[in-house]
Structure 1
Amino acid sequence: MLRQSSFIFLVLLILVLSACGKAPEAAQSNQGTSAQENNTQSIEHLKGTAVVPKKIERMVVLSAAYIDHMLTIGEKPAGVNVEVRYGGDYLPYFADQLEGVPTVGSADSPNLEAIVAINPDVILIESRTAENTYEQLEKIAPTVVLGNEWLDYEDDTTYWTQDLLTIAEMYDKVDLAKEKMGEVEQRAAQLKEKIAQLDQKKLAYLRVREKNLQIYAAKGHPTNTLLYHDLGFEPTAVTPSEQREDLSMEKISDIDANFVVLEVDPNGQDYLNSMNESSLWRQVPAVHADQVYETDSFWLFKGWGVIGRSEIMDEVQKMIE
């Protein structure tokens, strides 16, 4: 009986010592898991959840809007897309801040080898880019898909801020992003007061393309809502509500605008020359009063970001003065 009791005690002692020996190993394993979790963050996006580093060092960006957002919060991309139709280089209003940043092809046709060479922590793309290249990019690095098609935000005039806040959250800079957004909103409010004092403030936002003229809508895009909602310009009789429309040469005289913003495509110069020779174009009040302001072809990019919207307002300020 004594021998049996001693044997049982010995077995129990071995089990206790064995458990004690494994405890530090288990604790060490848990600490490793905890440390790994503390070094990453989970980002919800249109394709699911991406696990990315908490300290992002190399972000490749395939969107002009997202370049704007990163520069707004003081972060420099590790690689950026180009716009082929505008020369295949940096967009001019970012050029100074992007000096030395590698280009990685267009958003529609990214250069995968160039992206691999950067060894990115994260790749940031729009939903339209994801349609063709998400799977390829995801094999290179965690790929975050933002945006949700241009016309999907109905009457929300602050839609353009959503992706900025998501990107700022990835860098723990949401407060800075909100500060920059507030500065833009304040600037818009001040400019709106000046525009409200104008006796005539109908504006037409036109785009001259290779073979036709288009007029942009009063909403449906952040640039449009900046002009008509945030700044308070009035749409013309032919300004569509939600989507841009073609205007035939015969319809040009119906543009009852006091101001015309004229965006000319790189291949639109011949059509612009035809317009300038037309007596119908000269009947437009803004043309007659020499209130036509030819701008660069980047307003549609600029409307999506703090930097771009600020530049649009700089131009509007000069226009109304």
Structure 2
Amino acid sequence: MVRQRVATMVLLALLIFVLAACGKTSEVNEAMPEQQDTPVEESGTQTIEHLKGTAVVPQKIERMVVLSAAYIDHMLTIGEKPAGVNVEVRYGGDYLPYLADQLADVPTVGSADSPNLEAILQINPDVIVVESRTADSTYEQLEKIAPTIVLGNEWLDYEDDTTYWTQDLLTIAGLFNKVDLAKEKIVEVEQQAEQLKAKIEQLDQKKLAYLRVREKTLQIYAEKGHPTNTLLYHDLGFVPTAVTPVEQREDLSIEKIADIDANFVVLEVDPNAEDYLNNINASSLWKRVPAVGEDQVYTTDSFWLFKGWGAIGRSEIINEVEDMIQ
């Protein structure tokens, strides 16, 4: 009887212990926040803030269509190849010449202003990246094809910020988890510019005019307002001429040509501007420009306007300028 009583008491004690443990387990479970399974379709995504709101895109992007020369440069800078790119009549071909070798066989999808929606649809992109001006007319249509990210800070007012060209590069690099690589490339271009600036500082005369010959007019680019301008006058240290505007490019009449007191002229010529260029070259006023008399006129094309936005393009401009001042 004694053994039975002891056994019963032991069993009762064990039962009480088990019940107490269960109670504590229940309390712990109630205190824990409820964990929810992530739906399969939402796993492996990233959310990007952009000018039109937010876009949810894959964490690993396989096919990105870009409708901007700058964004093509940005992707190639970080070692990513676009799945589709825009074309523009000014290119003179499907691709910008300075990027053409790296874009072999990449499908073209119309212009930035009038993208070929069917061509984009055939690519089945993970994401589309466009400039703000493109988004004004096509964003809703593109968004139906794939998540569409709207960048385009080129139309914003950055006042004295000369690094704004890097912002979209860093955004695109972030989509591929390559921000550190993008920063390395930016530093490389900045160091390249600093080395050339040191050479330019040694010049006795370093006034530069950046001109554009159009079909019926001559324009002069400003000291600011575009990354190519700030590259020349800020990063490289050229001095603006007496007629160089500060913020926005301006038209120059033939009579004003004599006021261009430039030691170097970068002359950008539109494809349809040969006749007007001939008129300028024949002008006695043009011959009075110091750079003309010193044979320091460097003829280029509109690609400098595209190149100024990207690390690859800026590096090429720096190389061209170095050749120009030799």
Normalised by the length of structure 1, the TM-score is 0.89
> What is the CA-CA distance between 1:154 and the residue it aligns to?
1.4
Equivalent in the alignment of 2:13: none
Distance in 1, Cα, partners of 2:38 & 2:235: 51
**Residue deviations 1:38-87 (CA, integer Å, cap 9, x gap):** 40000000000000000000000000000000000000000000012333
Distance in 2, Cα, partners of 1:252 & 1:260: 12
Corresponding residue to 1:89 among 66, 83, 94: 94
> What is the CA-CA distance between 1:151 and the residue it aligns to?
4.8
Distance in 2, Cα, partners of 1:116 & 1:311: 34
Corresponding residue to 1:195 among 185, 188, 200: 200
Equivalent in the alignment of 1:152: 157
Corresponding residue to 1:238 among 235, 243, 246: 243
**Residue deviations 1:195-242 (CA, integer Å, cap 9, x gap):** 000000000000000000000000000000000000000000000000
Equivalent in the alignment of 2:130: 125
* Contact 1:237–1:255 (Cα < 8 Å) also in 2: yes
* Pair 1:80 & 2:59 matched: no
Equivalent in the alignment of 2:186: 181
> What is the CA-CA distance between 1:282 and the residue it aligns to?
0.3
* Contact 2:153–2:168 (Cα < 8 Å) also in 1: no
> What is the CA-CA distance between 1:149 and the residue it aligns to?
4.1
* Contact 1:209–1:265 (Cα < 8 Å) also in 2: yes
Distance in 1, Cα, partners of 2:162 & 2:191: 15
* Contact 1:253–1:284 (Cα < 8 Å) also in 2: yes
* Pair 1:275 & 2:280 matched: yes
Distance in 1, Cα, partners of 2:51 & 2:179: 20
Equivalent in the alignment of 2:324: 319
Normalised by the length of structure 2, the TM-score is 0.88
Distance in 2, Cα, partners of 1:151 & 1:231: 23
Corresponding residue to 1:31 among 31, 34, 37: 37
Equivalent residue runs for 1:1-321 within 5 Å: 30-33=36-39, 36-321=41-326
Larger radius of gyration: 2
Aligned residues: 296
126-135 vs 88-97, which moves further? 88-97
| Percentage of matched positions with identical amino acids | 82
Regions of 4+ moved over 4 Å: none
Distance in 1, Cα, partners of 2:91 & 2:101: 17
Distance in 2, Cα, partners of 1:154 & 1:299: 21
* Contact 1:214–1:244 (Cα < 8 Å) also in 2: yes
> What is the CA-CA distance between 1:295 and the residue it aligns to?
1.0
> What is the CA-CA distance between 1:278 and the residue it aligns to?
0.5
Equivalent in the alignment of 1:25: none
Distance in 2, Cα, partners of 1:171 & 1:151: 25
Distance in 1, Cα, partners of 2:245 & 2:44: 49
Distance in 1, Cα, partners of 2:219 & 2:38: 59
Equivalent in the alignment of 1:21: none
Q: What's the secondary structure of 1:237's corresponding residue? A: coil
**Residue deviations 1:131-188 (CA, integer Å, cap 9, x gap):** 1000000000000000234352111100000000000000000000000000000001
Give the letter aligned to residue 145 of structure 2: I
Q: What's the secondary structure of 1:217's corresponding residue? A: coil
Q: What's the secondary structure of 2:271's corresponding residue? A: coil
Distance in 1, Cα, partners of 2:84 & 2:124: 10
- For structure 1, the 5+ residue unaligned runs are 1-28
* Contact 1:128–1:149 (Cα < 8 Å) also in 2: no
* Contact 1:207–1:213 (Cα < 8 Å) also in 2: yes
- For structure 2, the 5+ residue unaligned runs are 1-34
Equivalent in the alignment of 1:6: none
> What is the CA-CA distance between 1:30 and the residue it aligns to?
3.4
Distance in 1, Cα, partners of 2:155 & 2:287: 33
